[in-house]
């Protein structure tokens, strides 16, 4: 069914079936086809945006975009979102998985360790005012990009399990991996993936200039304290300028990652098309990770709660099309999610199923009697038809690992 969407929501892969004006009034040139075309890259999106305020897309011929009218979300909204994601999920073939996730674990672990070391060194050098060579950052991010392109689930699994409650270094790496995973899902060119990875890794480096007592304050911040925190963006840009051969596009991403679609962000109050697309991606990844990270002044959200929060504020803080693509990218049950099954078993999602989002691969950690399993069993919920004699397992809810005395880091070695 053809759907009307704002041109601000256009994404790569969408099939534009109709415009907001007659075709002859739109001076399109090749590679656009009259009477319909598939969006191939960011430049084509920008060209359409200069000519049209809205267009009509055909999800049956390309990528779909689901738009709801309510500003918040209801149970019905949630049901619709789940239905759309599970039935109309995009299978991005621009970056097919090159190797099984199990084969990428070891390499991904080494790359993440190297990334942590390089980030730690860069922070110390910049804080001390020393000149930093960009070569080491480019090399380690390049290796991370290659790992994510081969199979994004390996790095995603490792950062979720190993780094959830660790330092700001680990938080930066988690955001970097998530941003690259979304970039891969969107089919970004490799050059943009490198810019995205470096910017996402270093975007909050300026927080080392913000007093620690403000960053760790348990009560709500005063307006003056909030302004000090917001200054970290300018600090980050200023510090990164001292890196040799730093690309201006990377600096622009860092400078804009806290800008918001409706103009309520900072530091420049940019809005909509004024904001770099890669900045939207890093900001979205940063917001999602922040919601699930421990903070002294609020409770952590589950991955599903974080996704629903972002979904409820689509076209406010981030473009709705990008939010919906992000949800498809990470999945309803992202890698690292603790889930409860209809058998009363509890497990952790170790690999997504992009076609059947409700049926990922799950490592069962707690048996149906509530006991920890000495040898966790991995179940592919989508392949249970091969065992017709057994009752099919199904996810019924998100599980709180603390309720079952589960620590994510206990299972890190099982993945490698």
Quote the pLDDT of residue 277. 92
- Whether residue 75 is predicted with pLDDT greater than 50 in this model: the reply is no
Rounded distance, CA 116 to CA 112, Å?
A: 6
Quote the pLDDT of residue 158. 82
Quote the pLDDT of residue 90. 45
Phi and psi dihedrals of 75, rounded to 5?
A: -60, -35
Q: How confident is the model at residue 10 (pLDDT cuts 50, 70, 90)?
A: confident
At 263, list the tokens: 């103009």
Rounded distance, CA 152 to CA 178, Å?
A: 9
Quote the pLDDT of residue 146. 96
Q: Beta strand 395-398 with 338-341: parallel, antiparallel or unpaired?
A: antiparallel
* 117 Cβ contact partners less than 8 Å away, ≥ 6 residues apart: none
At 81, list the tokens: 């979102």
At 303, list the tokens: 């991955």
Rounded distance, CA 226 to CA 246, Å?
A: 29
Helices (H), 88-231: 101-127, 135-150, 152-162, 168-186, 190-202, 212-215, 223-230
Please identify which residue in the block is written with the tokens 């099954």: 341
Terminal CA-CA length for the chain: 44
Q: 172-227, pLDDT tens digit by residue?
A: 999 999 999 999 988 899 999 999 999 999 999 999 999 989 988 888 889 999 99
At 330, list the tokens: 């990470």
Quote the pLDDT of residue 209. 92
DSSP 282-300: HHHHHHHHHHHS-BTTBPP
Question: What is the arithmetic mean of pLDDT over 396-409?
Answer: 80
Rounded distance, CA 380 to CA 363, Å?
A: 9
Q: How confident is the model at residue 411 (pLDDT cuts 50, 70, 90)?
A: low
Question: What is the arithmetic mean of pLDDT over 86-115?
Answer: 74
Question: pTM surpassing 0.95?
Answer: no
Rounded distance, CA 79 to CA 86, Å?
A: 11
Rounded distance, CA 59 to CA 13, Å?
A: 10
Rounded distance, CA 230 to CA 267, Å?
A: 7
Best CA proximity match to 304, nearest among 360, 382, 257, 256:
360
């Amino acid at each position: 069914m053809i759907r009307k969407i704002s041109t601000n929501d256009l994404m790569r892969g969408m099939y534009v079936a109709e415009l907001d004006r007659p075709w002859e009034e739109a001076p399109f040139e090749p590679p656009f086809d009259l009477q319909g075309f598939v969006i191939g890259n960011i430049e084509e999106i920008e060209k359409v945006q200069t000519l049209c305020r809205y267009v009509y897309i055909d999800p049956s011929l390309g990528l779909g975009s689901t738009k709801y009218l309510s500003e918040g979300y209801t149970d019905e909204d949630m049901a619709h979102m789940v239905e759309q994601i599970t039935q109309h999920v995009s299978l991005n073939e621009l970056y097919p998985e090159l190797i099984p996730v199990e084969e990428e674990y070891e390499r991904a672990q080494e790359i993440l360790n190297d990334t942590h070391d390089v980030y730690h060194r860069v922070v110390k050098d910049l804080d001390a005012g020393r000149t930093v060579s960009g070569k080491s950052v480019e090399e380690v991010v390049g290796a991370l990009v290659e790992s994510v392109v081969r199979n994004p689930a390996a790095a995603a699994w490792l950062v979720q399990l190993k780094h959830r409650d660790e330092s700001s270094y680990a938080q930066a790496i988690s955001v970097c991996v998530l941003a690259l995973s979304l970039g891969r899902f969107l089919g970004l060119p490799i050059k943009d993936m490198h810019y995205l990875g470096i910017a996402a890794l270093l975007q909050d480096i300026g927080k080392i200039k913000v007093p620690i007592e403000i960053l760790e304050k348990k009560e709500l911040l005063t307006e003056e304290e909030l302004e000090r925190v917001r200054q970290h963006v300018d600090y980050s840009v200023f510090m990164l300028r001292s890196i040799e051969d730093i690309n201006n596009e990377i600096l622009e991403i860092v400078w804009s990652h806290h800008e918001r679609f409706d103009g309520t962000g900072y530091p420049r109050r940019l809005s909509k098309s004024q904001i770099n697309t890669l900045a939207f991606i890093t900001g979205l990844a940063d917001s999602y990770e922040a919601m699930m990270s421990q903070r002294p002044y609020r409770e952590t959200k589950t991955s599903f709660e974080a996704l629903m929060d972002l979904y409820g504020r689509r076209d406010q803080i981030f473009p709705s099309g990008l939010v919906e693509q992000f949800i498809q990218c990470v999945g309803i049950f992202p890698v690292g999610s603790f889930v409860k099954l209809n058998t009363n078993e509890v497990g952790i999602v170790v690999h997504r199923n992009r076609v059947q989002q409700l049926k990922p691969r799950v490592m069962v950690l707690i048996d149906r009697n509530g006991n920890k399993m000495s040898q966790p069993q991995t179940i592919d919920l989508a392949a249970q038809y091969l065992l017709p004699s057994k009752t099919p397992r199904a996810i019924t809810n998100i599980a709180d690992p603390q309720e079952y005395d589960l620590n994510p880091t206990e299972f890190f070695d099982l993945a490698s």
